[in-house]
Structure 1
Amino acid sequence: MERWVLFSLSLLVYLYLEVAGAGAQDQRGLAGQGRRRRGPGVPELNQPQRGGLEWGKRRKAGGLRKGRARGNQQSQPPLGLTRLESLPANAGASIFIESYKSVDERQSNYNVIPGKQGQCVYQGITMFEQAVWSPKPCVTCLCSGGEVLCDEVTCPPLRCHFPYPTTGECCPVCMDTASRGDVPDFSGDSPVANDPDPVTPDLDPILDPVVPHTQAEIELLLNREEEEEKERRQKERQRRQEERRQKEERRREKERRRMEKEERRQEDARRLKEEEAMKEKERKLEEERRRHEEELKEKLRELAELEEEEEEEKEEEEEEEMEWLLRGDVFQMFPDEPTGEDLLPPPLAEPTDREEEGVVVCRPGIALPLGCDISDVTVTCENAKLTNFPPLNIPELKSLSLEGNSITTIPVGAFNGIPNLESINLGKNKLTTAGIAPHTFNGLKFLSRLYLDNNLLETVPMDLPSTLQELKINENHLKGIEENSFQGLSNLLTLELEGNVLSEGNVDPLAFSPLSQLSYLRLGRNHFRIVPQGLPPSLLEVYLENNLIEEISDSVFNQTTNLNVVSLRHNRLDESRIAPLAWINHKNLESIDLSYNRLYLVPSYLPRALVHLVLVGNQIERIPGFVFAHMEPGIEYLYLSYNKLDGEGVEPQSFLGTYTSMTELCLDHNQLITVPPGINQMSTLHFLRLNDNKIRTFAEDAICDPQKDEDVNIVTLRLENNYIDPRKVSLTAFSCVRSYSSIVLKPQWTK
């Protein structure tokens, strides 16, 4: 489309130039006649340009001539002119002074050069009266009364948006004026091309197909169109970007609202669950109370019955005594008469329990809240519906249990009256990190056990006493462990942090460094992907079940050479992600639990001292040969239940190294079709499970070796839920079993 427009414009320009050329020839003929009428010696005036500016000069010159004539009549300089000092007529150049201008004045000043009456001499050239010429651009001179009047053009204000400097012109012109090729008529008071016309609307002749255009105008038009197109595209891109941004903001706002709604839903569900749990707990408490009341009523009824029976027996005895008296038996012996002291009534027993505004007085001088009980040096307030920490003043108290209440805060000085506590149980409350006052536990110099399970703590309480030996913060909201979280707890032996939000990203590697005597650590039900770093060297047992652990590196257990038990149940381990040197050289590691992971093979490079190995609930298909051969003295307990072992999954050398050590072997719930080889060589085997497989028949020596004369050793043998026909089993197949009652053969599958 743009090409057709350009072609049309070019054609119109060509046609217009042809017509304008003919008109220009006619004008040049008229101009020649004008020069001939001027006569010799008069210089040729500058011919006007096609633009409106030169015609404006001529118009101003004509106006000046009229003003000059009036000035001669009135002997005053014309309006808008400033007469300069007299200069020699033969001066080489006129001296121009800045034109006189005011805010509303648009006419120009003339510089006056004196000359002879009736003619002027300018730069050696004689000018006739009323002659007009331009010695240089933007300057117009007039010979009037022997004086040379020069006008320096003052550019008028423009109202157009695109002023355009024209070649040979001193003032910029509007695009519509610069592009016109016609010559305006300045006769009379017709408006100048550059003069603003408030009535006539601004028209752009460049866009008019009738007006001819030069190549520069066409290029300018194309540039303007390109700029407009670029500006339009830029605005369109900005609009689209703004729409995308607004759309993204709306999407984010929608997602945020959805997340808030989901959080509110989860919070409502959690609150509802807690309320249901509280209601269930209250219901159980109510049932327990009713049961106690019923038991108490039953006991009272039994006591009443006993009292009635005693009364009846007493009455019967009295009747018998009366009978003896009536018979006159003088030999009947009566009890001695009571003395004076015996006649005194027994002292009244002081009440043991008394309720006063929810406070029960259990001992003289000791007041406990309702629902609490004291026994020796132990106070128990479990499930007593307490919402605040009870004020106690029992200096000899050693143990305090507040489990199962709704306590939210522990104020300052809560333990001032019970400074000798050794054990505190605050489990199943609503304690928060901010609710525990600073240095609350620091004054308990004998505290050794602190239980904070099932609360709302987000960090480990600070300033715990150095005497602490056991700390439990299971089922809380712990979000991290800092380097100084366990500062000063060098005597801590047991630490349990299960059921929190801990991971390798928020547990500082130096967090366990102060625990120089820690031997028992539980970190189950968290979000660890690797075994935590920096475990203390003193550690004996570590439990990491129900995490997301995928890898065991070579160095993770390097410092814990005293490890005895490692539990990694319910993680994401497979045999290829267990490093060969992870634990093979641990001389004390005897028990490993890798149940419910992603193992396909029994892992190689197990610890040499391993005794107890649990691999239940994996996808193990094969027991590689010699996998237990390096162990000393040998594995004793091997649990491979609920895997995928089949007829080819067990090799002849799979159990090599266990023949003199194996005590319990569980291969139930697999896909075995025969009894695995090597079992008949296990001389110390006591417990064997092969139930829930696909075993149909087995050789006579599959379980017991008849050539060995050793004592029977198998105590329990389970073979039910297979495809075995008991009638086809040899009588000597179970010669190593202590009694036939220890063999479970039924039921069996028939297909």
Structure 2
Amino acid sequence: MQKTPLLYYLLFACLCVILAQNENYKTPRRGRRRMHYRGLRRGSLGNRSPNKQRQTKSPILITPVPSIPLINTDGDITEVIDSLIGLDGHESSYSVLPGKEGRCFANGMIMYDKAAWSPKPCVTCLCSKGKVLCDETLCRPLSCHRTRIPEGECCPVCTNIVLSSVSLGDASEFSGDSPEPNDFTVTAMQKVHTSNERDVLLKKEIQLLEKKKNIVKENRKRKRIKSQGERKKQEHENDQKDEESKRRIEEEKRRAYEEEELRIEKELNKMKEEREEMGNEHEGDEDEDQEEEDILRGDVFQMTPLFPIPEPSAEIPPLPTGCSILDNTATCIDAKLTQIPPIMDAELTTIEFVGNFITSIPDDAFNGIPNLERIDLRKNNITSSGIGSQAFKILKNLKRLYLDENALVHIPPGLPSTLDELKINENQLHAIDENSFQDLKNLVTLELEGNKLSEANVSPLAFQPLKSLSYLRLGRNKYRTIPQGLPHSIEELYLDNNQIEEITEICFNHTKNLNIIVLRHNKIEESRIAPLAWINHENLESIDLSYNKLYHVPSYLPKSLLHLILIGNQIDRIPGFVFGHMKPGLEYLYLSYNKLDDDGIDPVSFYGAYHSLREIFLDHNQLKSVPLGIAEMKSLNFLRLNNNKIRSVPPERICKTRLNHEDHEDEDDDDESEEEHDYEDSQLEHLHLENNYINTRDLSPYAFSCVRSYSSVILKPQLK
């Protein structure tokens, strides 16, 4: 019985001591906060990053102090005594936990309600009514070019931006000496709670913006499909009812998209207002002085400012009727356009505005489509005065430009250096000066056919800047001589349908890479071709001199020639040995529509080409018999002798054999196998002899024995 009063006496004494200590430590709220802030300023953590400070302060450490423990009335009271005085001579390690209910237990530590901490980088946790709420830290977007992620942090920062923060004390000052959290800590925890709510709101807002962006894309796709549908409707008038139902469905989809977009817009505005109210709700009291306000701005728990929400991109202006966009290509063919429509789509690489009434290309025509690689403006009414000097400046990737069938009189100015193909056929070009192709060093193909160009209005230096040019077409112009100043890189030259009369020795002196020359439909005579004009060209393989004024096959042809086209002249003779100097030898010879007769072909006319010729066209001439030398051509594959005056085909004029089958019927088997072997060596597959005067009944059965297939011998019809 005596122990019980003694116990109550001890408890009463302890209570009095504690109350006295609390009375001594009590200070006004405002004063206590100021003292704590000054302590923070004198601390040693001033240079730490905000994220590191948050990690240091978040766990609230409880230091053992003499205080009344929480007594479990269901347990033995002796346990409480043991915790105060310590049994067996050991100091007590019992942590007294003051405060209200709602504490959290995390990572082996007990956190107060509203406490915030970072268990790992980029993650912030909050104790709310006994529950632990964690969320990842959001990073604001940066507009700078160079960023880095500081050590211990999760968000990147610009390398030219220095983050500053208020110096903070060490970890011991964060918990304080009082077991009860002060007003500053509570305010910081409220700020963390508010910031987390704002982060959640921001996430939701970003998701809505993404959804709105998808709707805008869907609208764009729907408009493209709709424009394509309108185009198909014009082509298929019989499907009018189906198109009407499709249009109704599309209209319903459009209304649904618009309603959804309007709803999202309203929700975004509402969330924006909530975010602004939330930012204003927890500002500092007006009674607190400027010093306290400055300290709160540098609070370790202050979240990174919210980044500005990007406005949704403006809707692309609709394309005119008859236009469509598909696979990065905008197409407006025969759409009756009078100007280039305004298009805002950086993904487009090709525009095809063929067959319209466009008259000009202003400086800002391609501002919304800067990544174009191909522009097709054929069959319009574009004039030289209508093209702005800066019209093509923005196009850094342009490769192909087609301006055929317009009304240009000059080469457009300011063409980008990236061009590798330029076509201005069928215009009114009547002058090219030395600066017309300036900076076009990458141009490979140039076509200027159907204009009014001549040696009188084209500068000899006009083509010099074209260092990469290999394909040049100047047909259907007014040239009387071969153009001068052609670039060294030229490989194919087309000068058909001009008025060229002569080929001088200096015409091709600087074009040693020439491979093909086309001079058909001019006024060239064989006597006006200089002996040294092209004979030494080692790469020249094809010459087309069709429809000129040639009477003989020209001499002094290039040594490397493989392909000679002389159709539609007045040739009546093939001089002997005219092909004898060629190496490796002529392979294709076309002499159709000339005036060749039996006297015009000598036994040695094809000398030097017997082993190389693969095709010979001698149709539409005046031959009365198969020319001599045909049977000697072992590589011949295609022979045309139709539309002549041939009356007979001797057995060995086309197919030559070592043995005559009729005269050597009694020869042994070895001779027969040798005869068959001669036939197998022949390459002849196509033979045309129609429209002559041949009596097919008089033909020898061995006249065409070397032809690989009898079905390839065309004999009908014959003239009478």
TM range (shorter): 0.5 to 0.7
Q: Decide which of 452, 476, 482 is 2:403's aligned counterpart.
A: 452
1:616 to 2:560 alignment? no
1:722 to 2:692 alignment? yes
- Give the match for residue 702 of structure 2: 732
In the TM superposition, 1:521-670 aligns within 5 A as 521-670=472-621
- Give the match for residue 500 of structure 1: 451
Q: Decide which of 261, 283, 292 is 2:236's aligned counterpart.
A: 292
- Corresponding letter in the other structure for 2:236: H
- Corresponding letter in the other structure for 1:724: I
SS at match of 1:566: strand
The 3 A distance-change label for structure 1 pair 353 and 521 is farther
- Give the match for residue 35 of structure 1: none
- TM superposition shift of 1:396: 1.5
> Quick one: distance in 2 between partners of 1:648 and 1:743?
26
Native 8 Å contact 1:706 1:735 kept in 2: no
Q: Deviations over 1:410-465 (max 9, x none)?
A: 12211111111111011100011101111211221111100000000000011110
> Quick one: distance in 2 between partners of 1:382 and 1:514?
34
Native 8 Å contact 1:366 1:394 kept in 2: no
Q: Deviations over 1:647-686 (max 9, x none)?
A: 1010011111111111111000000011111110110111
> Quick one: distance in 2 between partners of 1:615 and 1:696?
25
- Give the match for residue 482 of structure 1: 433
Q: Decide which of 393, 403, 406 is 1:442's aligned counterpart.
A: 393
Native 8 Å contact 1:378 1:397 kept in 2: yes
SS at match of 2:706: coil
- Give the match for residue 646 of structure 2: 695
The 3 A distance-change label for structure 1 pair 699 and 288 is farther
> Quick one: distance in 1 between partners of 2:551 and 2:523?
12
> Quick one: distance in 2 between partners of 1:539 and 1:351?
59
> Quick one: distance in 1 between partners of 2:463 and 2:516?
18
- Corresponding letter in the other structure for 2:583: E
The 3 A distance-change label for structure 1 pair 595 and 287 is farther
- Give the match for residue 514 of structure 1: 465
SS at match of 2:517: strand
> Quick one: distance in 2 between partners of 1:470 and 1:352?
46
Q: Which has the higher contact order (CA 8 A, sep 6+)?
A: 2
> If the length of structure 2 is used for normalisation, what is the TM-score?
0.55
- TM superposition shift of 1:699: 1.8
- Give the match for residue 372 of structure 1: 323
SS at match of 2:384: coil
- Give the match for residue 705 of structure 1: 656
- Corresponding letter in the other structure for 2:595: K
Which segments of structure 1 move beyond 3 Å, counting only runs of 4 or more?
A: 286-291, 297-303, 347-354, 363-366
1:393 to 2:340 alignment? no
Native 8 Å contact 2:363 2:392 kept in 1: no
In the TM superposition, 1:108-123 aligns within 5 A as none
SS at match of 1:463: coil
> Quick one: distance in 1 between partners of 2:609 and 2:241?
61
- TM superposition shift of 1:366: 5.0
Q: Deviations over 1:20-79 (max 9, x none)?
A: xxxxxxxxxxxxxxxxxxxxxxxxxxxxxxxxxxxxxxxxxxxxxxxxxxxxxxxxxxxx
SS at match of 2:711: helix
- TM superposition shift of 1:709: 4.9
Native 8 Å contact 1:712 1:735 kept in 2: no
- Give the match for residue 671 of structure 1: 622
- Corresponding letter in the other structure for 1:293: E
- TM superposition shift of 1:580: 0.7
- TM superposition shift of 1:292: 1.5
The 3 A distance-change label for structure 1 pair 678 and 394 is same
In the TM superposition, 1:221-300 aligns within 5 A as 291-294=235-238, 296-297=239-240
The 3 A distance-change label for structure 1 pair 668 and 510 is same
The 3 A distance-change label for structure 1 pair 348 and 566 is same
- TM superposition shift of 1:551: 0.3
In the TM superposition, 1:121-520 aligns within 5 A as 291-294=235-238, 296-297=239-240, 349-350=253-254, 365=316, 367-520=318-471
The 3 A distance-change label for structure 1 pair 409 and 635 is same
> Quick one: distance in 2 between partners of 1:531 and 1:468?
26
SS at match of 1:424: strand
> If the length of structure 1 is used for normalisation, what is the TM-score?
0.53
Identity of paired residues, percent?
Answer: 59
> Quick one: distance in 1 between partners of 2:495 and 2:333?
30
The 3 A distance-change label for structure 1 pair 716 and 288 is farther
- TM superposition shift of 1:710: 4.5
- Give the match for residue 52 of structure 2: none
SS at match of 1:613: strand
- Give the match for residue 741 of structure 1: 711
The 3 A distance-change label for structure 1 pair 675 and 566 is same
SS at match of 2:631: helix
- TM superposition shift of 1:376: 2.5
Native 8 Å contact 2:354 2:379 kept in 1: yes
- TM superposition shift of 1:300: 7.4
- TM superposition shift of 1:478: 0.2
> Quick one: distance in 2 between partners of 1:432 and 1:577?
40
- Give the match for residue 166 of structure 1: none
The 3 A distance-change label for structure 1 pair 709 and 471 is same
The 3 A distance-change label for structure 1 pair 381 and 651 is same
SS at match of 1:514: coil
SS at match of 2:599: coil
Aligned CA RMSD, in angstroms, stands at 2.4
> Quick one: distance in 2 between partners of 1:372 and 1:466?
29
Q: Deviations over 1:497-524 (max 9, x none)?
A: 0000000111100000000000000000
Q: Deviations over 1:448-494 (max 9, x none)?
A: 10000000000001111000100000000000110110010000000
Native 8 Å contact 1:545 1:569 kept in 2: yes
- TM superposition shift of 1:698: 2.8
The 3 A distance-change label for structure 1 pair 429 and 581 is same
The 3 A distance-change label for structure 1 pair 291 and 401 is closer
Q: Deviations over 1:290-320 (max 9, x none)?
A: 54222x35977999xxxxxxxxxxxxxxxxx
> Quick one: distance in 2 between partners of 1:434 and 1:664?
51
In the TM superposition, 1:62-73 aligns within 5 A as none
> Quick one: distance in 2 between partners of 1:478 and 1:385?
25
SS at match of 1:701: helix
- TM superposition shift of 1:369: 1.3
> Quick one: distance in 1 between partners of 2:498 and 2:608?
32
> Quick one: distance in 2 between partners of 1:691 and 1:352?
72
Larger Rg: 1 or 2?
A: 1
The 3 A distance-change label for structure 1 pair 301 and 647 is farther
> Quick one: distance in 2 between partners of 1:288 and 1:417?
27
Native 8 Å contact 2:233 2:240 kept in 1: no
> Quick one: distance in 2 between partners of 1:289 and 1:368?
17
